[in-house]
Amino acid sequence: MYTVLLQNTGKKPLGKAEEGKEIRVKIVPHKPLVKVSEKVMGFNLFGPEEIGRPGLGSGESYHAVMEPNEICEYNLHFDVGYEEGPPEVVPLPSKDDLTLLKTHALDATIEVWLGDERIAQFDLTKIKK
């Protein structure tokens, strides 16, 4: 799960509570994270074409509108399988593989979108660990 805190430092509200006009946050994996995902999962976990597979999924919580000076929390999560389930369900990776994914989780960029316009991006590799 990625948790992002954003603050509207402007004097006007950002976003609207209408589909296509809200503030959204996206994760864009860099090559090292994609490679680890492909090694651990057998595919790019961040590719939308894989999300429909049984045992996989993603979701988000967000604030469509940010008032001036408001700090909002945005969460992005990815389901990576289940410990038990029918054969068609993607199995949960081993603890070592999950640790490997977590180790590379910051090999990505967070993008902030207002409707269809990217208004900010943050390279997570620049964060001090």
Q: Which DSSP helix (H) or strand (E) runs through 85? A: none
Residue 91 half-sphere exposure, CB side, CA atoms within 13 Å? Answer: 7
Instruction: Supply the range of the domain harboring residue 43.
Output: 2-126
Cβ 14 vs Cβ 114: under 8 Å: yes
Q: Report pTM.
A: 0.83
Angle at 21 between CA 18 and CA 27, to 5 degrees: 120
Per-residue confidence at 19, pLDDT binned at 50, 70, 90? confident
Helix, strand and coil percent figures for the chain, each rounded to 5: 20, 35, 45
Residue with tokens 């990505």: 108
Task: Assess whether pLDDT exceeds 70 at residue 52.
Answer: no
Domains: count for the chain: 1
* Residue 107 near residue 29 (C-beta atoms within 8 A): yes
pLDDT average, residue stretch 67-78: 92
pLDDT at residue 54 in the model = 63
